[in-house]
Amino acid sequence: MLVLRVAAENHRQALIVLRHHHRIPTATTALVEEIGQRILVLASMASQPEHDGLIFFHAREITSLRSMHTTPEFRNCVIVRHPLVQHKLSILRDRHTPTKIFKELVDEIAMLMAYEATASLPLEEVDVATPLEVTKGWRVGGKKLTLVPILRAGLGMVEGILRLVPSARVGHIGLYRDHTTLQPVDYYFKIPGDVAERDFLVLDPMLATGGSAVSAITSLKRAGASRIRFLCLVASPEGVLRLLNEHPDVQILTAALDRELNESGYILPGLGDAGDRLFGTR
Ligand code: PRP
Ligand code: URA
């Protein structure tokens, strides 16, 4: 293990770059105590650079050690590298995958990603009467989570997430990308009331130029929303940076951060046109 850099990012965080090591060295525990409550560790396997990732580390709760999979350049973006997500995403990318399977996979990946996205939901203590005695239990507190799919393709992600969080509310934002200008054109906006205290998850499989995501999030903020995250399956570096620029408070969760956009604004390698593949309209 080689510690290349330690840089305090703010009062409570530090970045350590490690090579050839995926495990947290015990020495970092002391470092955490020295620097503060949290520490971010970038583990880099020289032979497998694609496995680079940031690992979240909490001094007081060693068991919460888990991979966040982000990089300093794209600090607003977390890549969910769960093996099932990556396996299913590869089938999704395959040009031969038929519409029916495509739809099922979008649904399943969204559900798996929602598991990550809901990891920080607040809990409140409750009494639970088992058949034998009353004990303490937990239930998710706060206002109901609100899912906001961007039409059309975001619709494919809703049901999977609702299976995990059936009480979630669902708003809708209608946008399409003009094929020549690539600018988003909005045609529908409907979200639940009581916006200020809700957590919003904006859903769209694709973050390409970022125009649609920026427009949807701007509309949500205009309506009073402030706690917004963006959940997608494939993101481009251009889209991630555009969101970082225009809505730096919005975290992106994605299953993949792809290489680039082509001249028509499609993500490479990507998976093609998500809406067309979901609804068989190509
Ligand atoms: C796709 C996709 C996003 C948008 C991403 O939708 O579902 O909403 O493009 O591109 P951007 O980041 O460059 O804005 P599209 O406009 O094709 O509409 P559709 O879902 O109705 O097919
Ligand atoms: N929208 C899509 O559906 N796919 C892309 O690659 C880019 C935008």
The pLDDT tens digits for 140-150 are: 988 889 999 99
Domains in the chain, please, with CATH?
2-68 (no CATH), 91-279 (3.40.50.2020)
- Tell me, what amino acid is at 130? T
Region 57-62: what's the mean pLDDT? 36
With CA atoms as reference, report the closest residue to 51 among 13, 74, 81: 81
Please write the tens of the pLDDT for every residue from 172-199: 999 988 889 989 999 999 999 889 889 9
* Alpha-carbon span 253 to 205, nearest angstrom: 11
The reported pLDDT for the residue numbered 16 is 45
Region 233-254: what's the mean pLDDT? 96
Listed range (52-61, 80-89, 202-211, 251-260) with the worst mean pLDDT: 52-61
Ligand nearest to the CA of 241: 1
Residue 37 or 201, more confident? 201
Cα of 157 vs centre of ligand 1, distance in Å, is 14
Contact in structure between 172 and 149 (CB atoms under 8 Å): yes
User: The pTM is what?
Assistant: 0.79
Residue 135 or 42, more confident? 135
Share of the chain above pLDDT 70, in %: 75
Cα of 124 vs centre of ligand 2, distance in Å, is 40
3-state secondary structure of 13: coil
Q: What residue owns the CA closest to ligand 2's atom 5? A: 266
Please write the tens of the pLDDT for every residue from 3-59: 333 333 333 334 444 434 444 445 444 444 444 434 444 443 333 444 434 444 433
Please write the tens of the pLDDT for every residue from 73-100: 788 999 999 999 999 999 999 999 999 9
Cα of 177 vs centre of ligand 1, distance in Å, is 5
pLDDT mean across residues, the chain: 81
Q: Outline where the chain has alpha helix (H).
A: 27-35, 83-93, 99-117, 158-164, 211-222, 237-246, 274-279
* Alpha-carbon span 144 to 199, nearest angstrom: 7
What atom in ligand 2 is closest to the CA of residue 270?
A: 6
Share of the chain above pLDDT 90, in %: 66
Q: List the catalytic residue out of 12, 66, 181, 281.
A: 181
Contact in structure between 81 and 53 (CB atoms under 8 Å): yes
The b-or-e profile of 38-75 (16+ CB within 10 A means b, else e) is bbbbbbbeeeeeeeebbbbbebeeeeeeebbbbeeebe
